[in-house]
Structure 1
Amino acid sequence: MIHRILIKENLGFKQSELYIKPGLVVFTGLSGAGKSILFKAILSAFALSESEAKFVEIELDDKLDLESFGIESEDENIFKLLKEKNTKYFINNQSISKKSLQILSKSFIKYLGSKENNEFSNEKFLTLLDTLELQKNPNFKEFKTEFQKNFQEFNQAFDALKKILEEEKKIEELKELANSQIEKIASINPKIGEYEELLNLKKKLSKKDKLEQAWSKAEAIFELESAVINALNLSEVDSSFFSECINELRIIAQNQKFDTIEMDIEKMLDRIENLSYLIKRYESIEKSLEVLEQKKKELQHYENLSFEKKNLEKKVQNLEQNLEQKAEILTQTRIKNLQNLQNLLNDYLKNLYMKDVKLELEQNEKISAFGKDELKLSIENTHLKNLSSGELNRLRLALIATECKVLNAGKGIIFLDEIDANLSGKEAMSIAKVLNELSNFYQIFAISHLPQLSSKAHNHFLVEKTKEQSRVRNLEKEERIKELARMVSGELVSEEALEFAKTLLKN
């Protein structure tokens, strides 16, 4: 949940710092005071709205999957927006792109002022139907796990068959390509270490003339060998050290002679060129030998393709038949729970003064990890896209509440942008009651113009505008009574309005 919000230089707001308690957070105030401006600034830190704020900092303690975005998670995660020439976003002082931040934010924030309808996803409805079955039949979990395992096996086999069919279309081309690489590498027949040896020899041969001239002159030392030994002996110095040196020198000189090397230089250069080609193409001689073995296996695979195809076709057919049978069981199970889910949803819609929805299951031709079912939702044959924004938001609210009731779980933050606008008092109170129930699972932020919703707030903030600037402040009990009364009777607060406000808070 969010427990601190700091906003600076937000149009009329110079600085606003809010400390939040768990539950329902409501912003009230006169029209034009800046409630929407403040609301958008909060959402902007999550990249879910545009704002004029120069700086927004939000502290929350939710456990988020920040590592997937290359950001280290902390016990207290700090979201920050900084607007100078460009808008920059940070989490825990680490930069994040707007697109990545939006993806992350949508994983734990529901914004019921936006145009997205992700609450109405088919997977979400099917999960609720399956949960209702699981509550009655614990063995259903094992059945569904087995179905998903079978679907994964089917998918893998189907993909493998699809790959073979694609390969089959260009099999001759692939075989020719594999054969070409095999023949090229095999014709060169490289040996590990050979390339380095040939380069050394080439280097040596390139200095042949200079070496022969140098050693031709140096060999004069051998003619003086006996004279040096004689001089050493006469000087009564042991000549063995000189004999050893001269013998070692003689061996070195012998090794430098090229007349004993029988090699076709052109052939050697061609060999170096061929080995160099392999190194350029495959990075190394070792890699070229690996490719050779790989291409031999590929060629063998192409030769056995028809046999593999036949086996895979049979496997896919058997798996698909098995899935079809289990998908039918899933469908029948869901049909049994469809009325229950519809009743739960309509209970909330009734409390929200909306017409009943009708849920229907239709079957797709293709099987997915959820089976073949697709849930269709309509309100007196009216499609979702034809509902007003107010109706759509109340429907989304009812579905979130139904989801919490069925799953007995819910986590994150809900933002409601004037969900009680243009509603009667009883309709607003019905929304307030649903939100109060949801606040056991979610932290909820809402802008309200009616006292019914505002009276249920665990955090009530008043947004005010003076001649100089706007400000927001937390209201305590007596101040709340006055603000609720103002919402009832206008700026001239009557005694009846005050009594009604006290009754709302008491209830």
Structure 2
Amino acid sequence: MLTSLSIKNFALIEQLEIRFSNEFSIITGETGAGKSILLGALGLVLGRRADLTSLKDKEQKCIIEAHFEIQPYGLQSFFDENDLDYETTTIIRREILPSGKSRAFVNDSPVNLQELQELGDFLLDIHSQHQTQELTDEAYQLQILDALAGHQNVLQEYKNRLSRYKNVKSQLKQLQSEKEALLKEQDYNTFLLEELLVANLKEGEQEELEALFEKLNNVEFIREALDKSLMIANEEQIGLVQNLKEVKATLLKIAPLSKEYQDLSDRLSSVLIEFDDIADELQRHADALTSDPEQLELTNQKLQNIYTLQKKHQVNTVAELLEIQKALDEKVVQADDMDAKIEMLTNEEIVIKEALNGFAKTLSANREKAAPVLIDQITAILTELGMPNARFEFDIKQTETFLPSGKDEVQLLFAANKGTSFGLLKKVASGGEMSRIMLAVKAILANYTKLPTIIFDEIDTGVSGEIAHKMGDIMKKMSRQMQVFAITHLPQIAAKGNQHYKVFKSVQGETTVSELKLLTNDERIVEIAEMLSGKDISDSALNHAKSLLID
């Protein structure tokens, strides 16, 4: 329910703050007084796009703020899904900056226009004679039937299963496509995998093989270097070992004379021990060194195989080849895994499809039962609204396709007069007939579902006084279930409201502004009398206005 509206710097409105009550509210005013401005402001709250022409003062920002009581609408899940703070009194604020940028907030949290539009659909329905095309939409006609059928739980179960069904079919299609592509590559992948498996690769072996190859390939060069080193070290007369021993013996003679000489002697002893160890290691390497052409050839072949595989797979290391081997292994066995997944999803698809058919059958049966009930209620209301010969027929066809709300395609057929054949509503109903049909539908829906606040914008255009009485009665009855606003030029409807607001223009200094005022009872009598007779209000008009308000 819309509880209050604040408008600042919008079109002809400088500053406006107004509170609304529940039930049935009337808004009247002369043409051009600003009723469309009021609707424009509410349109911005509902997420309509804005531009700089909305600003009265181009140097100041425009702010529109609407307060709604939302507890009856069950919107907690919407707020949770959109990460918004849920408040039973929810505040929607829209700002248009002088730069042309627009911002929107719900309970002080910024939102985009799509989120605002989705929330607005739950809160406010602005309905004019030009917006009755909604009634010609087959999806909306189906919603009307579903409201009377009262099978929302079944419908929700169907939608949940349909969502899963589409997901399963999508997964199946993807898996089957992947399997088909995989099977085309499987032979080649198997060949590549076997090639890598035969190579029996081990991480780090390339470096070891390259080191071994260099050693085996340079045996004579290494032997010559080792032999020469051993000769220099161990030659009996001039070898390094013998010379180091002589230096050590000489230093030992002077070591007792100074700590410095002693340190030098100790260091030389350490060098001699280390050099002895090096000489022994050289000897061991020399003794172990043998020429092995066969091992050299095997090492070379292994290395060349690794280099060939690296070039083939465009990598530089054995580790990368092992990763490719792992991936190929997974691809080769993946086809078997896919078969298991495809079988599982296929079975699930069959189960879901069976459940969907069951739900769709129930929905269709309920709609067949609800259709004549709805037709009877619509024709009864339309008889009151001056259309006694109006006839309706629902054409419900079951398809083989799972549609968003079942397997039914629905068309509402209409005949306005006796003796005329049925036709599609959108083709055979006039604008005035569509307005009255929509009013009848909204009135019926108010008894079956929780509708948002509804604003009827001059839906009564072109109807007679007696029909206007009936329309007013219908809207007033609707207001027992929901908040209803009627923007009207007809006194018969204006008199039905629980409260009456007037839109008017006033001149303030050099500017014209639009204002909205809640009328007192006396002011209301005058306003309705003026609607009856014009600016020159007669006593009979005043009396007529009073009698209308009493009815």
> Shift of the alpha carbon at 1:246?
8.5
- Counterpart of 2:475? 435
Percent of matched pairs sharing the same residue: 22
Q: SS state of the match for residue 31, structure 1?
A: coil
Alignment equivalent of 1:374, drawn from 395, 406, 409: 409
Which whole-Å CA distance do the structure 1 matches of 2:2 and 2:532 have between them? Answer: 30
Instruction: Give the alignment partner of residue 391 of structure 1, picking from 429, 433, 449.
Output: 433
Q: Secondary structure at the match of 1:367?
A: strand
Distance 1:160 1:458, change over 3 A: same
> Is the aligned partner of 1:108 residue 2:108?
no
Query: Among residues 508, 511, 514, which one is paired with 1:471 in the alignment?
Result: 514
Aligned counterparts of 1:392 and 1:448: Cα–Cα separation in 2: 17
SS of the counterpart of 1:337? helix
1:153–1:70 Cα change, 3 Å: closer
Pair 48,275 (structure 1): closer, same or farther in 2 beyond 3 Å? same
- Mapped partners of 2:414, 2:255: distance in 1: 121
- 2: distance between equivalents of 1:19 and 1:226? 112
- What residue is the counterpart of 1:30 in the other structure? 30
Which residue does 1:18 correspond to in 2? 18
Question: Runs of 5+ in structure 1 lacking a partner?
Answer: 135-139, 202-219
Describe how 1:454-465 pairs up with structure 2 within 5 A.
454-465=494-505
Matched with 2:291 is none
The answer on 1:363 being equivalent to 2:378 is no
Partner of 1:79: 93
Q: 1:58 aligns with which of 53, 65, 69?
A: 65
Asked whether the equivalents of residues 364 and 374 of structure 1 are also in contact (C-alpha less than 8 Å), the reply is: yes
Q: One-letter code of the match for 1:56?
A: I
1:475–1:232 distance in 2 versus 1, CA, 3 Å: farther
Do the aligned partners of residues 73 and 390 (structure 1) sit closer, same or farther apart at CA in structure 2, a change above 3 Å counting? farther
Q: Is the 8 A contact 1:190 1:275 kept in 2?
A: no
| 1:451 to 1:323, Cα distance in 2 relative to 1, 3 A | same
Q: Is the 8 A contact 1:80 1:90 kept in 2?
A: yes
Q: 1:318 to 1:452 in 2, by over 3 A?
A: same
When residues 439 and 290 of structure 1 are mapped into structure 2, their CA distance, relative to the original with a 3 A threshold, is farther
Return the offset for 1:178: 5.8
Give how far 1:417 is off: 2.2
Change (3 A) 1:486 1:142: closer
TM-score where L is the length of structure 2: 0.66
- Partner of 2:37, secondary structure, is helix
**Deviation by residue 1:313-370 (Cα, 9 ceiling, x = unmatched):** 7886787577557644543443233211221233333344343432231222313364
- TM-superposition CA deviations, 1:42-70 (whole Å, max 9, x none): 21232337674321322323357355456
Which residue of structure 1 aligns with residue 459 of structure 2?
419
1:186-201 paired onto structure 2 within 5 Å: none
Letter of the structure 2 residue corresponding to residue 444 of structure 1: V
Corresponding residue number in structure 2 for 1:342: 375
In 1, the alpha carbon distance for the partners of 2:191 and 2:67 equals 61
State whether residues 4 and 67 of structure 2, in contact with CA within 8 Å, keep that contact through their aligned partners in structure 1: yes
1:482 aligns with 526
Q: Distance in 2 between matches of 1:400 and 1:232?
A: 119
Name the counterpart of 1:173.
184
| Cα distance in 2 for residues equivalent to 1:248 and 1:456 | 119
Label 1:503 to 1:127 Cα distance change in 2 as closer, same or farther (>3 A): same
Q: Residues 504 and 162 (structure 1 numbering): CA distance in 2 closer, same or farther, change over 3 Å?
A: same
Q: Which letter does structure 2 place at the counterpart of 1:342?
A: I
Larger deviation, residues 326-335 vs 487-496:
326-335
- Given that 1:275 and 1:285 are in contact with CA atoms closer than 8 Å, whether structure 2 keeps it comes out as no
Task: Give the deviation of 1:377 after TM superposition.
Answer: 0.6
The whole-number CA distance in structure 2 between the counterparts of 1:402 and 1:494 is 39
CA deviation after TM superposition for structure 1 residue 419, in Å = 1.2
Supply the distance in 2 between the matched residues of 1:124 and 1:454 (Cα, whole angstroms). 29
CA distance in structure 2 between the aligned counterparts of 1:6 and 1:142, rounded to whole angstroms: 39
- Separation of aligned partners in 1, 2:466 and 2:345: 63
- In the aligned structure 1, how far is the partner of 2:316 from the partner of 2:482? 61
1:32 CA drift (Å): 1.9
State the SS of the aligned residue for 1:437. Answer: helix
SS of the equivalent of 1:397 reads helix
Equivalent runs, 1:102-251 vs 2, <5 Å: 102-113=117-128, 115=131, 117-118=133-134, 122=138, 125-126=141-142, 129=145, 132=148, 155=166, 158-159=169-170, 162-163=173-174, 166=177, 170=181, 172-173=183-184, 175=186, 235=259
Amino acid at match of 1:41: A
Cα 1:47–1:183 shift into 2, 3 Å: farther
Q: What letter is aligned with 2:126?
A: Y
Give the Å deviation of 1:474. 1.7
Specify the code of the residue in structure 2 equivalent to 1:363: Q
CA contact (8 A) 1:278 1:288 kept: no
Distance 2:530 2:304 in 1: 102
Alpha-carbon displacement from aligned partner over 1:11-30 (angstroms, at most 9, x marks no partner): 33322222222233332111
* Structure possessing the higher radius of gyration over alpha carbons: 2
Post-superposition offset of 1:486: 1.0
Q: Which structure 2 segments of 5+ residues have no match?
A: 56-61, 212-239, 289-295, 416-421
